[in-house]
Amino acid sequence: MATIIGIRFRNTSKVYYFDAAGFTFRKGDHAIVETSRGLECGEVTMANRTMGEEEITKPLKAVVRPATEKDLRQVEENAEREKKAMEVCTQKIAAHKLDMKLISAEYAFDGSKILFYFTSDGRVDFRNLVKDLAGVFHTRIELRQIGVRDEAKMLGGLGICGQPLCCSRFLSDFQPVSIKMAKEQGLSLNPTKISGSCGRLMCCLKYEQDAYSALLKITPRQGALVNTPEGRGTVVDVSLLTGALKVRLDKSPDSPPVSMTRDDVKVIKDGRGKVEKEPSEALAELED
């Protein structure tokens, strides 16, 4: 058994687990831990919890120490220095006429380096920019290119639902999202209606996809030829979630369609409303 805590860095949604190393933490506390980027100060989002060895992904690093008042002041000072770093880097990018958009600057906890995140449509030769910045800040400089999804995650914002962006609130990793999902869920294929703030397909298309996939397997498609208690007919309308169908009976083609449920019918021949294998070129650009 091991006692672990969950730590989140810089208000990101992903939580990392560390060995509590004998310390007791409550939710909202701060701790100093060793990461691949060196020492970092993170917020405790999960208090001490005992877990079995088989539940832990090893190797599990141990907490260095609880954060002190001095550590928290250091974090605040770094945040102020990051604002200045953003201004300087933005000016340097303009001076070098580089085709890149600066997203954020992050000081290492101990000030040993500054990490700049940027987006660009292509590769950027920023070697001279790094030299310039190193001459200004006299510390190690790193520039990292990120995608538009990561940009939205870092900057945050509101989605079309009126809620804060899922990626900046609770999603720890980006899941693949495709046009096929939007089609199977019966959504409008208007790019402005199915894309998020990042310009890519909305992450929430993934949330209910398993349910829709299961329902599609047991629900006749529009155009399907079916046997019903009232005779053979053709499905003319489908409500996937409720399972309600409207069937035009062969014996009375001029009469209004009859309302039924998917449990009332048996498919003879599936409909032609199958999902296209390849999305259109315009819609394909929304996929990441």
Whether the per-residue pLDDT at 84 is higher than 90: the answer is yes
User: Can you give the three-state secondary structure of the chain, one letter per residue?
Assistant: CEEEEEEECCCCCCCEEEECCCCCCCCCCEEEEEECCEEEEEEEEEEEEEECHHHCCCCCCEEEEECCHHHHHHHHHHHHHHHHHHHHHHHHHHHHCCCCEEEEEEECCCCCEEEEEEECCCCCCCHHHHHHHHHHHCCEEEEEECCHHHHHHHHCCECCCCCECHHHHCCCCCCCCCHHHHHHCCCCCCHHHHECCCCCECHHHHCCHHHHHHHHHHCCCCCCEEEECCEEEEEEEEECCCCEEEEEECCCCCCCCEEEEHHHCEEEECCCCCCCCCCCHHHHCCCC
Mean of the per-residue pLDDT values for the chain? 88
* pLDDT tier, 231 (very low <50, low <70, confident <90, very high otherwise): very high
pLDDT of 280 reads 62
Q: Per CATH, which fold does 73-146 belong to?
A: GMP Synthetase; Chain A, domain 3 (3.30.300)
In the chain, ranges of CATH 2.30.30.30 domains: 222-269
pLDDT tens track for 8-46 = 988 677 888 998 988 999 999 999 999 888 889 999 999
* pLDDT tier, 75 (very low <50, low <70, confident <90, very high otherwise): very high
Q: Per CATH, which fold does 222-269 belong to?
A: SH3 type barrels. (2.30.30)
Whether the per-residue pLDDT at 70 is higher than 90: the answer is yes
In the chain, ranges of CATH 3.30.300 domains: 73-146
Whether the per-residue pLDDT at 4 is higher than 70: the answer is yes
